[in-house]
Amino acid sequence: MKERIKLKKLKKILVAFMAVFVFLTGCGGVRGDRFSSEESAKELLLSEMEKRYGMSFIIAGNEKYHDFGGLYGYTYSCNVAPESMPDRTSYAAVFQRAGSGLQDDYVSYFYKDEAEAPVRKIFDALRQIVDYEAELSIDPVDGKWDTGRPVDEFMKENNGHIETTIYFEDGKEANEYTDAIEDIFDNIQSYPYPIVLRIKANDNYIFYWEYYDNKIPSRERILDEVERNI
């Protein structure tokens, strides 16, 4: 599971190679050039998003247009948001030739509250946490997802996990920070899905851990990393 979380971070960069694989194995087939310029790629992406979710979308920045050549051709990716909810941004990409045609992670908004709520409840109750960020993250999906399916299926099939940044009070000793981190681990073991923990204090990230399958570090491991980073 740890490797799947790491691969998620690379997927948006390497999605072209995955699409070529689909083409070469005969699963995707040749679609022909689906767009001929960046402008037509934008139009296609917005049209496909509207078909998938039944609402109009707008481009929300982070636009990238790359030529991967050969069978693959160009890929266009960007952040998008519903026209009626411009603050609800997500990732989307379309491919000129091989591949599924559209990948996006907007579907995560249908499960966001249910997936994040237990983590937020845990963090809200821990007095040593000054502030935190917790956000559902998934791999981009290739097709229309049935949002009536339960959150458990959604999380497992789309590499769902919670990305967090946790802020501690500055100026504490390493042992105090270690106690606080152990307290977090004691409390998150009831959560059934992976959590990426980034602990910050004194303007530095003092601890990082990818929590999954109830795997937690030893106190010595936590203390060593904290002492190196405070």
DSSP tag of 139: P
Alpha-carbon gap, residue 207 to 122, rounded angstroms: 19
**Per-residue pLDDT tens digits for 33-42:** 789 899 999 9
Residue spans of the domains in the chain: they are: 2-104, 109-229
**How does strand 161-168 pair with strand 195-201?**
parallel
**Per-residue pLDDT tens digits for 127-144:** 999 999 999 999 999 999
H or E, element range at 196: strand 195-201
Residues of the chain with pLDDT under 50: 13-31
Rounded alpha-carbon distances, angstroms, from residue 160 to 62, 143, 147, 153: 23, 16, 14, 10
DSSP tag of 142: S
Residue 26, φ and ψ in degrees, nearest 5: 85, 5
Cα–Cα–Cα angle for 34, 38, 40, nearest 5°?
A: 50
Number of H helices and number of E strands within the chain? 6, 9
For the whole model, what pTM was predicted?
0.82
